Structures are given as structure tokens and as C-alpha cells.
Amino acid sequence: RFVGSLGTIVIKCKDLRIIQLDIPGMEECLNIASSIEALSTLDSVTLMYPFFYRPMFEVLEDGWSSFLLEQEFEHLSSVTNEWRLSCVNKDFSVCPSYPPVVIVPKSIDDEALRKVALFRYGGRFPVLSYYHKKNGMAMLRSSQPLTGTNGRRCKEDEKLINATLRSGRRGFVIDTRPLNVAQQARAKGGGFEQEVHYPQWRRIHKYIERFHILQESFIKLVEACNDQSHNMDRWLSKLEASNWLTHIKELLTAACLAAQCIDREGASVLVHGSEGTDSTLQVTSLAQIILDPRCRTIRGFEALVVREWLQAGHPFQQRCAQSAYSNSKQKWEAPVFLLFLECVWQIHRQFPCSFEFNEHFLILLFEHAYASQFGTFLGNNESERAKLKLPQKTMSLWSWVNRPEELSRFQNPIYEANSLVIWPSVAPQSLQLWEGIFLRWNRPSRFLEEAEEERINIIKYNKELQAKVNVLRRQLAEMETDGEVQEE
């Protein structure tokens, strides 16, 4: 996006950077501007950079096949046999936004799944999102049930989610809409799980904002951050007016609630909103960050993003098309994924030693979700990716990121595996603006980078010494035994 005048081009980037170029010559300037304009608003996916990008590095591991659901299932089967892999969606006919394979309760057959799919919006029947090994509780996600005004029910749907409950125990449905919105949805054929038909489930409405509200909030916040005035008051009121941190707080609270139901209440949880492709995924993925130490490793976090966002059908192409500087109103644009990343950052800030990755890793994912030379975030779901033949025609972000030389940049020097559940504080005093994203281009960062370097050096030096000491110890031990042998 650009504003051209008198030989000056201002390029406002999706990563929130603003570049100003002064170009001698009015004509050249206009030509360049219109070229940039055209090239930055291609309509066809296949003309985009990932289709032309030729990697300059050696691919050690193909990222397209790094995170298959089959592997995840293998991991799951080692602790429980209550679940199975279903290929009911192998040609994307049951649910166009689901991946070809999903994990469902063992007792539910594919025929039943087909029926449930008809009862859920967009065919998004309840599938396993997370299994809490500690107590065997499960987190499911889906879209809203299509109960309509006359209270339709679906026996298979009830059976499916009841199959995740232990006998005599109840579960929670976390609906990310307020009650009145859920009620209104019935008029359009949607709805929610009614107590009469789901007596073992208790419904909680935990409202999370969506779509254009989030996008407006995003735009306002970025404006506030770029405000050049000197007035302290204006800054805080603008920050407040953007409501961004309110969304962060609400989202974290909902995720904590889901995690609490599973870990503390020992209950299974079903999460959904309307479509089950946005707020639902925010909640399920954040709950896993809180509950599952694996998700706090680099590899585990990548797997989480693949499983809960890409394969789960978050429409990246629609949501991450323009970022915050867009003039044109994009109906589907919304910083849903960015909000998720920021929530992870907030938890990271409160538990700085419990994550294997650092802030740069989160920023990297933000950048690549909006613009990338890799095909990973193209398309809106697995079905579209298959049609575009992305795995064959483009490079995966993971192929690049998971090479040792790249990985080292994203490692948190003070990481120490923490096997516990980590409960973040959601009080306003505990939440901060994510400067690494929003003030990245207009704050002095040198001193912070130096501090980061210092942290790395402290740890590195410690490890080096440790290695040296170990070598010497071994040498000494060997020499001592040699000496003893000689004496004998």
C-alpha cells in the first residue's frame, strides 16, 4: 500500500513497518508506485511469491510432512485406546474445512460422523483437540449445532460427545458467544446444545470478540502506536480506546477457563462458537499452551500451529490478507491468529523460563502468516492447499525454520523444561502491550537486544565451562584409575 506525492512513496507494510522512499523524478515515482500497487494486490494465489521462490538452502526435512496427524495419534495411542483415526473426510466431502484425517472417539463410526456433520455448521463435527494425559480428560472442538428454532436434535451428536465422558461425570461446553447471540443464531438455523438433550453437559458462555471488531481494534492500536505527539494522556486513552488489551484479557480468560475445567474440574470440554474456525481455535490452542508442556517447545508449538490452526481450517488467506494499514474494508480480515500469538507472548512473559522458543519465533510466525516466501499459510484450509498442490509447488516454512542454524535464533536461552500446568494471571496489571510487534519499528531496540545478547552469553559461558569441567573430570578419573592399575 502506498501514498505517492512529489516523488515520495510511503510503503506501509503488513508487519507494521512504514518505509518512505524519496525518488527523483515524478514519472519514475508514479511508475514504481503503480507497480508496487499492482504487485501487492495480486488476485491469484498462484501468482504469489511462494510459487516462484527457490530456496537457497538445503532441505533436511520436508516441512510439509513434518507434522502429520498420524504421528500425533501414535503418541495418543501410547496412553489411551479410546480414540481412533477416521478418514471419513478423505476427499473433503464431509467437511470442506477439515483435514482428511481426524481423531474421534473409538465408539463412533464413520456413518455416525456423517450424520453429525449434517447437524453441525459447515460440517465441523466434534473432533479431538487435546487429550489431557494426567486425568484422561479431552478437549473437543466443533462448530455450533444446527438446532434451529424448533430445537432439532441429533442422537449421534449427543452420543459422540457423551463418549468422551467418564461414567457419571459431566462435561463443559464452552460457547464463545454470549447467550443472546447464541439464541439469535437459532433463527438462522444455528443454535447451541440444550440442557434437555445434553443433560450431562453444562454450558458456559464466554464471549470472545470476532471479525471486524477485532480488525478495528487492531487498526486503532497501530494508529496509537504511530502517534508522534508528546502527550502522555493521549497515549493511554488511545491504548484504552483500541480495546486491544481487553480482547487479550478476554481471550486468555476463556482459555484459562477451558484449561481449568479440564485440569481442575476433571471434566471434558467441548469448545465452539459459530463457525468453529476462529475463537474456537484461539481457546483450544491457548488452553494447550497452559496445560501441555510439549506445546511450549519449538517443535511442539509448530505442531500446535499446524494442528489447531492450519489443519483445523482457520482461513488464513481471508483473515491475514491486508493487516492494519488497509484502506479498503475487507469483510473477512481479522487479526485472529495475531491475538493468539500475543496471548502466547503474554503467558511467555509471565513464565519466561518455561518456553523453549523466544519472542522472535512468535514474531516470525506473525510475519509469515501475513506475507511469506513459503506456502505454509496460503489457502484457507487443507482442501484448498491440496487443490493448489502447495506441498509440491511451494516450500514449507518448517523446512526452513527447523534447520539447526535457523533454530538457534529462536531458542530461549533460559529455557528449563517445566512439566507443570502454568496458570497465567489475567489481571490488567499483568498484561502488557506487545512491544515486539507494535512498537517494533518505532522504539529504540538496541539496548534490549544487547540485554538479550548478554543473557545468551551468560548461559553459553556457563555451558562451556560445564563441558570443560566434565572433560577434565573424565580425564582425571581415567588417569587416576590408570595410576592405580600401574601401582598394582
Segment 341 to 360, residues that bind other proteins, using CB under 8 A: 349-354
333 touches 215 (CB < 8 A): yes
Query: Is there binding between residue 443 and other proteins (CB under 8 A)?
Result: yes
Member of 27, 58, 233, 405 binding other proteins (CB under 8 A): 233
Which residue, 19 or 469, has its beta carbon nearer to other proteins? 469
Member of 85, 181, 204, 407 binding other proteins (CB under 8 A): 204
Shortest approach of other proteins to residue 138 CB, angstroms? 15
87 touches 99 (CB < 8 A): no
Query: Is there binding between residue 40 and other proteins (CB under 8 A)?
Result: no
Q: State how far the Cα of 478 lies from the Cα of 247, in Å rounded to an integer.
A: 61
Member of 78, 81, 228, 392 binding other proteins (CB under 8 A): 228
Which residue, 198 or 374, has its beta carbon nearer to other proteins? 198
Q: Which positions from 449 through 488 interact with other proteins, judged by CB under 8 A?
A: 450-451, 454-455, 458-459, 461-462, 465-466, 468-469, 472-473, 475-476, 479-480, 483-484, 486-487
Query: Is there binding between residue 202 and other proteins (CB under 8 A)?
Result: yes
Query: Is there binding between residue 59 and other proteins (CB under 8 A)?
Result: no
Member of 264, 329, 389, 393 binding other proteins (CB under 8 A): 264
Shortest approach of other proteins to residue 433 CB, angstroms? 7
Which residue, 65 or 432, has its beta carbon nearer to other proteins? 432
Which residue, 66 or 183, has its beta carbon nearer to other proteins? 183
Q: Which positions from 153 through 172 interact with other proteins, judged by CB under 8 A?
A: 168-170, 172
Which residue, 264 or 329, has its beta carbon nearer to other proteins? 264
Give the number of other Cβ atoms within 10 Å of residue 100's Cβ. Answer: 16
Q: Which positions from 120 through 139 interact with other proteins, judged by CB under 8 A?
A: 134-135
Member of 182, 225, 338, 388 binding other proteins (CB under 8 A): 225
Applying CB under 8 A, the span of 11-19, 145-153, 296-304, 447-455 interacting with other proteins comes to: 447-455
Applying CB under 8 A, the span of 103-111, 138-146, 298-306, 420-428 interacting with other proteins comes to: 420-428
Shortest approach of other proteins to residue 415 CB, angstroms? 9
Which residue, 71 or 457, has its beta carbon nearer to other proteins? 457
How many residues bind other proteins, per CB under 8 A? 93
Applying CB under 8 A, the span of 28-36, 87-95, 314-322, 431-439 interacting with other proteins comes to: 431-439
Member of 316, 426, 436, 437 binding other proteins (CB under 8 A): 426
Select from 230, 265, 224, 272 the least CA-distant residue to 245. Answer: 224
Member of 243, 280, 383, 402 binding other proteins (CB under 8 A): 243
Query: Is there binding between residue 196 and other proteins (CB under 8 A)?
Result: no
Query: Is there binding between residue 18 and other proteins (CB under 8 A)?
Result: no
